[in-house]
Structure 1
């Protein structure tokens, strides 16, 4: 393979890299920013259910104008600018006071026994004791401790962590030996680390003559109430409007860049240059793998220096990358070359009359459901159920991106060999393998092999679906069909996945079973799509190619064919008239002479 720099695509590569760097500088931290400004868990869930629907509203509209204009550059610049503005304005949203109020609790640790005591909750002049949660594994946070020994935490290693005169006990077995109103006693036993392949609870004890009495906060007890400040409506309303506009803008940029990348690669390949789509989005993946962890390190350093979480740093970094992205777009001089006089609405009608394209959009919706579920609940599952450290969560993003890089470089070759529809089928099947695998792991580190399957479920799926759109989208509807596919995947699908996943998690009281249900559903859809494509879809796709070829045929060629038909018809009429004027013995001419005469006429 000849190596070299395609100067035409270089500005596009830089645009993809820097825009992805800007997006992943701020997107991973928006949820914790929402919590810090006082938006409750319920409001966060509602927002994330509604938010992806913006993908359905904005991109098809912008894509329609892009198709009609025939040039994405102007629309792209506006969307990048609006993305930076709206996400920066999130820092100006007024804060609201919101917190969980737990009963006043104290813990006494003596020998190998732990005793929890708590006072009743007071609300509306009524006094009642907080109920015990149903958790079998609980955590306890200790502070304001009175102790007869200094290093009690070392006796409980690795289940005790100390930071800033605060001690956290992780994985306590909630197996109380005595229980009464306001107190519970249990052995000082901890669940073992599942990554060590030990299954029996481990009993610890403090040193002799060592006892600890502390104020505590624990999920062993349910909270008394959830206090929300008076600014809830104001905070939620302003944040929702700004976040929705910002999400619409950034979704438009992602989809417009995809459409522009597809068209530019197609034009470059027609000229005999290298323009593989997978090698272009490789730069987005590289930015995703590198930038987000680095921004996290900067945030940790500033937080340690200032004493509180600071969100100005990621916003400033993101705005810088947005500015560089805007400059790079100015250097994209290649004309996108979309036909400006194509009947987009007529093409859309033909798309929705085609059963193969409808099934494709349905399968992209299913993939979007799976994507929305994992985006919403994977980190929750790893952190709360499997007690993963924070840095491990970041490594899952990096792992999936880094593993995909070599596959993306050769993705066009892979998709051409495997087939566009087959890539989508494999993505659904691998979603099934990935999610069923998640449901059975007992150690967070075991998630990494399944994270590597993002090669199929995200990255190759993106290339395969883009190639499918490039081949089967009717003339003049490239960005519009891309918007429909993006809306089905990142819009309705993603929102539905988060909502359905929340219902399953609530119904089964465990995230593992919800993953298993999603996995079985994805695997089933992959098998159904494979059967449909083998029995019927191939014929429909072939017919669609013929229809598209007729739609994209140049007007001069059509006129030329019509003129040729008229000439042939005229010559045939003249020839018929000449034969009628000739004597009948001409009809008895030898076959060779007749053939020569016909050749001359042709």
Structure 2
């Protein structure tokens, strides 16, 4: 009877348990943690998209590096103990876990910032013979006026310009605008007199009656150029430059002066009229300012009154850089642990290994600890993410300690455990080129699956928050996804070999359509849980299938690089693309915009599944089917020499044996 648990693999299972437990403690809460430090959703989307793109440096560098340093170690002719490369893989993986614990813990030290929504303060414009002034209301008590160096150039859109009498208290400027205008209805005889005596040209209001004229409309002059406000235009864009006030706001208003010479001349007729009403009148022109903060190229576009706590720019860049470095190490560790599973399970030409069972044991931690971390977060509202991040650090450090102390973990180089009694089974370099196109195709498929996975998981905590979900419920959602994955992974290799690798991928695209459709129409937390249960078909089986597929596509001497490829495709490139696509579709925070993103990606997943199904079963499968053939005599001779055959067992073929073809595995 086959041994249920391989004692040699217990420590590897414990490392995987610690690694996935640590990931589960923080992963459901990272999108919420970004918002908790005061960053907005746009900044969160940028971090979610850039971080996985940079994280690919970890597996892309460490995978080939370990393969290169392991060449010759532990081989029959190398003369070096097989523990040499095993120690290298253990130490590098442990270092990745330690750095992951360090950098994610540093996220707790990112300074907090707070930005209150800006109230659009009122803006007024006044101009007299001495100059022009822009006045902005201070929106909050104790606020300071906006400051900038030198002059700030732009345009100011104005309307309802009218003549009046200014005073030192700016009473008239602040008075509400009335419906009076500069348009005057005159008789034809008076029009001719006004035309002869007015120093300013008469302007006819086209579209109005011929008897309607604007007499001496207000002029706004800046830097030697004058503009005339015409009522029928209703909007005038005044180009000018403003100088920030030297002091703070007085009497709840900030006054900005123009940088260049400006004035608003008052014609004698208007001046005489104003003087008749008030002998002390200081003639001026005032205008109502339109859209001061939204006008294209507006001079006050960035001058809203805001209440800011901390430094938003410093907080963003600190979080951005720390998060980028933090994401590199668990991504690299995932690739190295995948290689460790492939090597330690001793998959040989005599039978398949137990890669899925190692992952199944680790998935148990992914099911247990996220809700516990979420419960701790709900119990500590003042610092909700302290316990999840500390739990992550503890699990990572325990896993690193096991790797460093266990010197008997079976992680020797592939050449040591691969059954090669003679040089007949040596892998030619042509094998890499032979399967290069297929490797690239599988890489692209896994990247697409990663994009669909990220489209859900990158912003799923926001969906739960929009449904009034708590941190505990976010952790339970991760448990719902991990629980069915454990038994599925336990029998994953037999299932994948029976169904076929490509059929697993096609099914995953179909289940993504179901998940997206369910999330698009979810009205309660229970529907989200149902959609999360389906992740066993879209992530768990997909991931073990990718590991098994690349295990056979990539030569054994490049085992670590081969396991780095699906990590780069799914959790780096795919995760980046999914965060970008889903972020662009859901530009606004409400739940309805997220549902729109889910509907669009659900349709895309269904289309990809249909295209993949047609291409594979109608074109690729018939052309690439390998004919059945008996194992070459060199292979049987080598196996018998190593005691690997009882005379009756028919071993599976060596994937990269030069004289055989891949026919046993269902690709």
The normalised TM-score by structure 1 is 0.64
Shift in Å, 1:58? 2.1
Aligned pair partner of 1:241 in 321, 328, 331: 321
Deviations 1:242-287 (Å, cap 9, x if unpaired)? 221121111000111112112322x156677x84222111122211
Match of 2:116 in 1: 100
Query: What is residue 532 of structure 1 aligned with on the other side?
Result: 615
The residue aligned with 1:84 is 101
For the aligned residue pairs, the C-alpha RMSD in angstroms reads: 3.5
Shift of 1:348: 5.7
1:366 aligns with 2:458: no
Give per-residue Cα distances to partners, 1:408-431, cap 9 Å, x unaligned: 221122111111111111111111
Question: How far is the alpha carbon of 1:293 from its aligned partner?
Answer: 1.2
CA distance in 1, matches of 2:413, 2:18: 25
Residue of structure 2 aligned with 1:296, choices 374, 391, 398: 374
Shift of 1:100: 2.5
Q: 1:226 to 1:381 in 2, by over 3 A?
A: farther
Q: Are 1:336 and 2:412 an aligned pair?
A: yes
Within-5 A mapping of 1:460-479: 460-479=541-560
In structure 2, which of residues 335, 339, 342 is the aligned counterpart of residue 262 of structure 1?
Answer: 342
Q: Relative to 1, partners in 2 of residues 1:389 and 1:298: Cα closer, same or farther, differing over 3 Å?
A: closer
Matching residue of 2:505: 424
136, 143, 146: which one pairs with 1:125? 136
1:390–1:55: structure 2 CA closer, same or farther, 3 Å change rule?
A: closer
Contact 1:16–1:257, Cα closer than 8 Å, also in 2: yes
Secondary structure of residue in 2 paired with 1:441? coil
- Greater helix share, 1 or 2? 1
Match of 1:24 in 2: 24
| Change in 2 beyond 3 A, CA 1:101/1:440 | closer
Aligned residue for 1:5? 5
Counterpart selection for 1:323 from 389, 392, 397: 397
Contact 1:9 1:275 in 2 (8 A): no
> 1:98–1:226: 8 Å Cα contact kept in structure 2?
no
The residue aligned with 1:448 is 529
Unaligned runs of 5+ in 2: 71-84, 124-134, 140-303, 417-422, 639-667
1:7-156 to 2 correspondences below 5 Å = 7-70=7-70, 71=85, 72-93=89-110, 95-101=111-117, 121=121, 125-126=136-137
Matched, 1:513 2:596: yes
Distance change in 2, residues 1:285/1:541 (3 Å) = farther
Deviation at 1:226, TM superposition (A): 5.9
Mapped to 1, the partners of 2:311 and 2:549 lie a distance apart of: 48
- The match for 2:561 is 480
CA contact (8 A) 2:108 2:386 kept: yes
Equivalence for 2:362? 284
Match of 1:498 among 579, 592, 600: 579
Aligned length: 433
Contact 1:87 1:246 in 2 (8 A): yes
Structure 1 equivalent of residue 388 of structure 2 = 314
SS of 1:125's equivalent in the other structure is strand
SS of the residue aligned with 1:368? helix
**In 1: Cα distance, 2:305 partner to 2:516 partner:** 35
Check whether the contact 1:255–1:486 (CA below 8 A) recurs between aligned residues. Answer: yes
Matched, 1:403 2:484: yes
SS at match of 2:38: coil
What does residue range 510-589 of structure 1 map to in structure 2 within 5 Å? 510-538=593-621
Give deviations 1:515-544, integer Å, cap 9, x for gaps.
Answer: 121111112212222222223434676679
